[in-house]
Amino acid sequence: MAVSLMFKRGFFVLFFFLISLSSYGQNITNYVFAANGGTYADISGTQVFAGGADDVVSSSISIGFDFWYMGQRYTNVRISTNGWISLSNTADSAPDNNLSSGGVRPILAPLWDDLAVFPGALGTGLGAGNISHNISVVMGVKVFTVQWNLMRWDRSSALIDFLGVVTPTSVISFQAKLYENGNVQFMYRQQGGNVSAAASASVGITGTSGVFLSLNGTGTNPAADHLVEVSNISTKPASGQTYTFNPTELSAPTSLTFTRVGSTGMRLNWSDSFADEAGFVIYRSVDGGNTYTHLATTSPNATFYDDAGLTNATTYYYRLYTLRENLSVGYVSGNQLTGCQSFVVGASPNLSGAGNNGPVCAAASLILSANFIDGASYSWSGPNGFTSTQQNPVISYSDNAKGVYTVTISRNGCSAVLTTTVTSTGVGRWTGNVSADWSNPNNWCNGVLPTNAVNVSIPTLEVYNNPTLTSSGSANNLDIASGRTLTVSGAGNLQVAGAISSAGTIATSSGKVTFNGASAQTIPSNVFSTNAIMDLELNNVAGVTLNGALRLTGVLTVTAGAFNTGNFLTLASSQASTAQVASIPSAAKIEGRVTVERYVQGGTVNPYRTYRMLSSPVYDNTTTFVNTDVEGNRSAKFAQLIDDIIVSGSGGAANGFDPTHNNNSSSWYYDSGYMRVTNINTTVNAGRGMYMLYRGNRNNIALKTYPPYPDAETVVMDFEGVLNQQDVSATLTYSAANNFNLLGNPYAATIDWSSSNWGADKGTASNAIWIWNPVARGYATYINDVSTMGGTRYISSGQAFFVQTSAAGTLKFKENVKAVTQQPTILSMSVPNRSQESVPTQLATPKNLVRINMKPVNSYGEDETVIVFDQNSSVSYTEEDASHFDGEVVNISTLADAQKLAINFLPLSTNAMEIGLNVSAAASGNYVMQFNLDEYHQGYLLKLKDNYLQKTTPITLGGAHHFSIDITNAQTLGAGRFSLLVEPPTVLPVGLLSFTWKKQNEGVMLNWLIANNSSAKVFKLYRAGDDGKYVLLGDILAKEVGAYSFLDAVPLMGRNYYKLVQIDGNGNETPTEPVVVNFVLGENNVATAFPNPMKDKLTVQVNNLKDDKYQLVLYNVTGQKLISQQVSKSDLNRGYELDVLVLTPGFYFIKVSEFSSNSFVALLKVVKH
């Protein structure tokens, strides 16, 4: 029998009740309990269990209608022999009654205990019992009744008493009725005898676990308690006793309407006037309202429901109930015909129902719009695969967004397809919506970069960034509004095919502007910022005219047609660069006068107050354009000079010169000798040079023409006239006494003296040129890719130069020898750094040469001579040699056939050679010779022989020799004082053909070559510093024949002595003579390593770095790489720490190089104790 759990169940009941109060809507206390008397009537129905059934539960049984209980809809029950009904689809027999918690829920229990169906007994008047059910209608309400007929309450009691009399004990019949309106009713009938004391039943209803109503007895007026379960009922209720649980219903909802009606669906709408409903229940009829079936149950507070999957042209009927524990007593109803009659796309935003806010400019918001249709979905498609499900999608407009867009508006089976067309606008109108980049299409209103057929406008309003052009950009007409600036920079090239009209400006301090129209064009005045431009190209066969002042700082290119300067053009010159005119095709020309500037470096009186060699790039004898090559039809006056510098001469002011105290000449031309200019209007033909004394600018003429002289300032000179163009021929004179000619670069451009385009047009001129170097107070010489004193193959605009002829002839300057990409040092002739450390690349066939420089000690002026060792050269003086022009302060040259040479090409001999030197000076004093062997790669020994002091000194890399000259003692100077001894090296080991070196970015590359008769088995390579201590760099196994190389990645700073030792099969060692390499890094980077000596940590710090990434490597003395790390510039600036604890005591090298180029930055020697 069931056990009483009164106390415990009361505790859990309270707990679960508190939980139940938090649920929405349903509350079991809303079921009103009532006890009444009545008449028990047996039912005739479907039997579920027969007599004797015990502890079993039926399968699912249909109720026959929708039974709403505790806010849920039930259509089936399961019946237990133990006196209860389960509304759940799953249930067990559960003989132990428990309304308060656990088990299957919900339970309707008219008498829950351990019952059994009475099997029947003869002599008792009671037949076998059963359990059955049926459906009836009471006052229009369907009722599902379950009857437990003749149930043994105490199934374990005996049927035969102690006298042997058969007695029906504890037999009872009862019913549970489920009403369609949600009521639950229990009714009882007493049968048989009394219930034994062992009976212990529960009577009541439940919700979820902890939610229940339990009767406290079975009398005529029991109470229903939701807090404490009474589970020990043992008294039969009176026959006809009825217990009813009646839920309190809410009223029906109101105002049922239908919207979003389509062919396959619609929306039901109603008013919710309740606060605690559990939702709303919708029933639907498709047979004209005769039969309704459950459609849906909504959530609480819902006010609409979307019914889908409907059939077109069908009327649907609906009933809507309020739901709490059960349905409302009443309902609201309505009906609606399906169809698309109400699906109408209106006339807004336009007649089609779809539209856009275009045209808009690129990068602006393009808004596609479609009419709002309640409940509709939107599906857009358009150009370039565009899709969207928004009603009004937004696109950042670009050119590929133009075109036709289609939107499909759908709702409940109804749809409409609409289109709208997006067009572009603002062709060629700049907006800068995205950035300042001209080349970004989205910065143009129509989203397309303009072509040379498009008129471009840069307006004042609705512009977010001023344009910047860094690549090629085109326009037909170009209009720049007030306040706007177009910047052309870097690789930018603005190509204009039409006209420029501008109240704004074009900034072209770098970059290029090209006029390439098909009809005549003009360049307006004041169109360029500060009236300056870098590069300008004219490519218009119809011609281009300049209408205002323009200062050009880069390259002027005339590709086609005529460029009329209007006398407004200036080709600018500065210390940094000089404007140039590119090669002009024969069909093109530049008309009108041009001012061509020429920067002339000044400085202290010594050395800068000295001579300059000039050449006019213009002619001023006529303003008519002349390009016929007739010598003398284009010339320039010396008067070109006097507006910028002081020009004195015989006759003073009478002859147009600046008057001085002695009217000495300061200007000359050259005609088989220097010829004084006798009148300031004296002319020189195009292609000829001017020679003049430079005193600085025109300030303080009296002071500058009378000693002591002040410093000579820097001056930007100008030549004004028509540019020399096309071929310019100059007659070359020759005589046995003087075969030199002073020529001048006739063009406003650099020319290349070694250009292959000269062909035979150098005439009888040799390959040598001479230009006065004012800093050295001597001549810079160039011939065949070898130079002294900063000479170069490139001759600047405005530069005159000497050539030497072998006979009378003609030299023809041509447009195709121009080299406008070159900006050589001009006129000031500051000697550039010639060391290999500053030149990362090597010539394909490097020359072997020795440079000897001579200068006073602690004074200005210098000279240089170069000896080039070439086996194809001659020991005699030939045209491949360059004669020496004496300077003002010191002179040094070599001698060949008694001819003084600045550059001397010689073959090496197997015997010792002695090369005569000639030295001279303007004054007695102390002098120094410096020997530059950076480009000397032979193993021959060099020595300087001093015949005056009877002393021979070995020459080493970077070595210097100090000596004195007494100009009153002929033995201290001239051709007899010094000579250079060139002695063959010690014979190389058998089979070793050469042992040479070359400096590279990565270090020193050592190369040697062995012949096929070599007996070498292994080579040992050693290096020593000035201390003479050789360290083994590596062992290299010998091959049969061929070339070998070894890179010394960490050469010593300064002189490195390398020695190669050949070891044959017998172990015999044969060393070479050492070669010397001077390895010097630039001084820009300050590098330190500390502490030095080091113990466990070493910090490397390098300043003045340019790149962002560097390679830091630690080597041992043999060049073995021990540590290699990539570090940043910031790491090295603040000091990068290395862990060196594991290193053994000894010397090490730290090498820092640029990560991108592997170029040396710093080399440090450290020691570990």
Separation of alpha carbons 656 and 524, rounded Å: 38
Question: What are 728-759's pLDDT values in tens digits?
Answer: 999 999 999 999 999 999 999 999 999 999 99
Sequence letter at residue 191: Q
User: What pLDDT score was predicted for residue 700?
Assistant: 95
Question: What are 171-226's pLDDT values in tens digits?
Answer: 999 999 999 999 999 999 998 777 766 789 999 999 999 999 999 999 999 999 99
User: What pLDDT score was predicted for residue 189?
Assistant: 96
Peptide bond into 832 cis (omega under 30): no
Q: What is the mean pLDDT of residues 683-707?
A: 97
Q: Where are the beta strands (DSSP E) in 412-498?
A: 414-422, 456-458, 468-469, 472-475, 478-480, 485-488, 493-496
User: Beta strand 555-560 with 580-581: parallel, antiparallel or unpaired?
Assistant: parallel
Separation of alpha carbons 487 and 470, rounded Å: 9
Band of the pLDDT at 26, cuts 50, 70, 90? confident
Q: In the 8-state DSSP scheme, what is residue 208?
A: S
Sequence-distant (≥ 6) Cβ neighbours of residue 641 within 8 angstroms: 614, 647, 667, 690, 692, 717
Residue 157 tokens read as 């009691």
First to last CA, the chain: 98
Strand partners, 105: none
DSSP H or E run through 17:
helix 6-21
Sequence-distant (≥ 6) Cβ neighbours of residue 889 within 8 angstroms: 607, 776, 777, 778, 856, 859, 860, 861, 862, 863, 921, 922
C-alpha torsion sign, points 605, 607, 611, 617: negative
Question: What are 47-66's pLDDT values in tens digits?
Answer: 999 998 999 999 999 999 99
Separation of alpha carbons 369 and 347, rounded Å: 12
Of the listed ranges 380-394, 581-595, 839-853, 1014-1028, the one predicted with least confidence: 839-853
Sequence-distant (≥ 6) Cβ neighbours of residue 678 within 8 angstroms: 649, 650, 651, 655
Q: What is the mean pLDDT of residues 358-379?
A: 94
Sequence letter at residue 89: N
Band of the pLDDT at 391, cuts 50, 70, 90? very high
The candidate with the shortest Cα–Cα distance to 571, out of 587, 557, 555, is: 555
Q: What is the mean pLDDT of residues 922-942?
A: 90
The candidate with the shortest Cα–Cα distance to 420, out of 362, 361, 378, 363, is: 378
pLDDT above 60: residue 921: yes
Sequence letter at residue 563: F
User: What pLDDT score was predicted for residue 1108?
Assistant: 83
User: What pLDDT score was predicted for residue 18?
Assistant: 38
- Looking at every residue in the chain, the average pLDDT score rounds to 89
Residue linked to tokens 């351990």: 114
580 vs 1093, more confident: 580
CB 978 within 8 A of CB 917: yes
Q: What is the mean pLDDT of residues 230-235?
A: 93
User: What pLDDT score was predicted for residue 1012?
Assistant: 62
What burial class does residue 137 get, using C-beta atoms within 10 Å of its C-beta: 0-12 exposed, 13-18 middle, 19+ buried? exposed
Question: What are 503-561's pLDDT values in tens digits?
Answer: 999 999 899 999 999 999 999 999 999 999 999 999 999 999 999 999 999 999 999 99
pLDDT above 60: residue 840: no
pLDDT above 70: residue 7: no
694 vs 19, more confident: 694
Fold topology of 992-1079? Immunoglobulin-like (2.60.40)
User: What pLDDT score was predicted for residue 676?
Assistant: 98
Fold topology of 1086-1168? Immunoglobulin-like (2.60.40)
- Using alpha carbons, list the distances in angstroms from residue 139 to 134, 136, 142, 249, 1144: 16, 10, 8, 18, 112
Separation of alpha carbons 563 and 557, rounded Å: 10
- The SS3 call for residue 230 is coil
Question: What is the chain's Cα-based Rg?
Answer: 57
Strand partners, 1163: 1151
Q: In the 8-state DSSP scheme, what is residue 363?
A: T
Of the listed ranges 103-107, 397-401, 659-663, 725-729, the one predicted with least confidence: 103-107
pLDDT above 90: residue 647: yes
User: What pLDDT score was predicted for residue 1065?
Assistant: 76
Separation of alpha carbons 265 and 980, rounded Å: 112
- Using alpha carbons, list the distances in angstroms from residue 870 to 874, 937, 1008: 9, 12, 20
User: What pLDDT score was predicted for residue 353?
Assistant: 85
User: What pLDDT score was predicted for residue 12?
Assistant: 37
Separation of alpha carbons 416 and 1102, rounded Å: 74
594 vs 346, more confident: 594
Separation of alpha carbons 1152 and 1108, rounded Å: 13
Percentage of the chain beyond pLDDT 70 is 91
Q: Which CATH superfamily is domain 254-338 in?
A: Immunoglobulins (2.60.40.10)
Band of the pLDDT at 990, cuts 50, 70, 90? low
Percentage of the chain beyond pLDDT 90 is 72
- Dihedral class, residue 734 (left if φ above 0, else alpha if ψ from -120 to 50, else beta): beta
Of the listed ranges 646-660, 810-824, 1070-1084, the one predicted with least confidence: 1070-1084
Separation of alpha carbons 903 and 1042, rounded Å: 34
Q: What is the mean pLDDT of residues 133-159?
A: 87
Band of the pLDDT at 1038, cuts 50, 70, 90? confident
CB 835 within 8 A of CB 851: no
Residue 784 tokens read as 């065949």
Kindly provide the b/e burial profile for residues 354-364, where b requires at least 16 CB atoms within 10 angstroms of the residue's own CB: bbbbbbbbbbb
User: What pLDDT score was predicted for residue 987?
Assistant: 58
Sequence letter at residue 560: A
Question: What are 290-316's pLDDT values in tens digits?
Answer: 999 999 999 999 999 999 999 999 999
pLDDT above 50: residue 5: no
User: What pLDDT score was predicted for residue 762?
Assistant: 97
1153 vs 731, more confident: 731
Q: What is the mean pLDDT of residues 375-379?
A: 95
pLDDT above 50: residue 667: yes
Of the listed ranges 149-158, 418-427, 477-486, 616-625, the one predicted with least confidence: 149-158
Q: Does pTM top 0.85 for this prediction?
A: no
CB 186 within 8 A of CB 203: yes
What burial class does residue 690 get, using C-beta atoms within 10 Å of its C-beta: 0-12 exposed, 13-18 middle, 19+ buried? buried
- The SS3 call for residue 567 is coil
Tell me if the domain spanning 354-422 has CATH number 2.60.40.10. yes
The candidate with the shortest Cα–Cα distance to 885, out of 780, 748, 735, is: 780
Separation of alpha carbons 875 and 1027, rounded Å: 38
Question: What are 1077-1134's pLDDT values in tens digits?
Answer: 877 665 456 678 888 888 888 999 887 787 889 999 998 877 788 999 999 888 888 7
Band of the pLDDT at 838, cuts 50, 70, 90? very low
CA angle 960, 868, 1005 (to 5 degrees): 75
User: Beta strand 500-502 with 478-480: parallel, antiparallel or unpaired?
Assistant: parallel
Separation of alpha carbons 172 and 117, rounded Å: 10
* Residue 1059 CB-half CA count within 13 A: 18
Band of the pLDDT at 141, cuts 50, 70, 90? very high
